[in-house]
């Protein structure tokens, strides 16, 4: 078997094609012509191209199904906002307890001050000062409580916003991933179908020829076979001479394009 750029591939031994014979009422094997072999290789190429496309889409779908980066980010943002809210509520509680403590202390001191039990002027003046001091402290603590309440409220809103964003993203993802899962299953089924067809097709072609085809496919951008259309190679557009055209149509050997080196297939 010899094949060079612009040369020929000798087809040996003769390949057979199974055909149903009505007269004999059974399947008979007929020798395959070079045109039929080129046609089979062309069909194989169409299958391989389709399998390639499906493979690429399948990979994209599988990686999309893994890709929940946005959801993960939203979840972590929501967690962080919740943590901040918990700290803020804790700070608010502490400020309220401190205020309550001040209120109680002030109340006790005021009761003592206005009870009339303290008569010593020095002691009375000290008590008054203490009450005054506690009132100032209370006022400052009230401001602090308001500040912490404000902060907690702001964070509460943020948590709410994050939760809503996350929910929207989760709903969208559920829809999207359902469609992706459906598509993945479709691609898998179609891929298997194509693979079965390919096996059937290649079982009728010799291993030598398949190897030759595979090698050409690898070196020629996945296109080992080129159709002849309007007297020229469909792939590289080179115009075939009348004698080349004649050989493609009638030779017992597979013909190659003299320009691009692909197997020529003449589709009657
Ligand atoms: Zn060509």
**Helix, strand or coil, per DSSP, at residue 84:** helix
Question: For the residues 17-26, what does the mean pLDDT come to?
Answer: 62
> Where is average pLDDT lowest: 104-108, 124-128, 203-207?
203-207
Task: Name the E strands within 133-262.
Answer: 225-229, 232-233, 253-255
| pLDDT band for position 4 (cuts 50, 70, 90) | very low
CA of 240 to the centre of ligand 1 (A): 9
Question: Which residues have beta carbons under 5 A from ligand 1 (an ion)?
Answer: 233, 235-236, 257, 259-260
CA of 11 to the centre of ligand 1 (A): 20
Each residue's pLDDT tens digit, 30-82: 567 788 889 999 999 999 999 999 999 999 998 888 767 788 889 999 999 99
Question: Measured between alpha carbons, how far is 7 from 26 in angstroms, rounded to an integer?
Answer: 38
CA of 212 to the centre of ligand 1 (A): 17
> Could you tell me the residue ranges of all domains in the chain?
2-64+206-265, 68-173
pLDDT attached to residue 253: 86
Q: Cis bond leading into 13, ω under 30°?
A: yes
Task: Say if CB 113 and CB 130 are below 8 A apart.
Answer: no
CA of 8 to the centre of ligand 1 (A): 14
CA of 202 to the centre of ligand 1 (A): 24
CA of 257 to the centre of ligand 1 (A): 5
pLDDT attached to residue 9: 58
Question: Measured between alpha carbons, how far is 260 from 241 in angstroms, rounded to an integer?
Answer: 15
Q: Which of 234, 233, 265, 237 minimizes the C-alpha distance to 251?
A: 265
pLDDT attached to residue 119: 87
């Amino acid at each position: 078997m010899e094949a060079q750029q612009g040369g020929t591939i000798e087809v040996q031994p003769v390949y057979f094609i199974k055909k149903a014979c009505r007269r004999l009422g059974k399947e008979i094997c007929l020798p395959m012509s070079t045109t039929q072999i080129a046609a089979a290789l062309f069909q194989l190429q169409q299958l391989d191209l389709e399998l390639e496309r499906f493979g690429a889409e399948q990979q994209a779908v599988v990686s999309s199904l893994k890709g929940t980066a946005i959801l993960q980010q939203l979840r972590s943002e929501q967690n962080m906002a919740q943590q901040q809210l918990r700290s803020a509520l804790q700070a608010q509680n502490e400020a309220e307890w401190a205020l309550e403590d001040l209120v109680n202390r002030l109340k006790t001191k005021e009761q003592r001050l206005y009870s009339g039990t303290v008569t010593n002027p020095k002691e009375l003046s000290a008590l008054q000062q203490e009450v005054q001091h506690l009132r100032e402290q209370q006022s400052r603590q009230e401001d602090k409580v308001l500040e912490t309440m404000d902060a907690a409220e702001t964070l509460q809103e943020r948590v709410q916003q994050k939760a809503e964003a996350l929910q929207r993203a989760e709903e969208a993802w559920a829809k999207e991933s359902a469609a992706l899962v459906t598509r993945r299953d479709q691609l898998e089924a179609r891929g298997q179908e194509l693979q079965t067809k390919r096996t059937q097709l290649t079982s009728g072609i010799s291993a030598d020829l398949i190897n030759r085809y595979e090698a050409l496919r690898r070196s020629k951008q996945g296109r080992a076979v080129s159709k002849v259309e309007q007297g020229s190679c469909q792939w590289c557009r080179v115009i075939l001479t009348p004698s080349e055209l004649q050989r493609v149509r009638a030779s017992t050997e597979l013909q190659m394009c003299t320009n691009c080196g692909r197997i020529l297939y003449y589709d009657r």
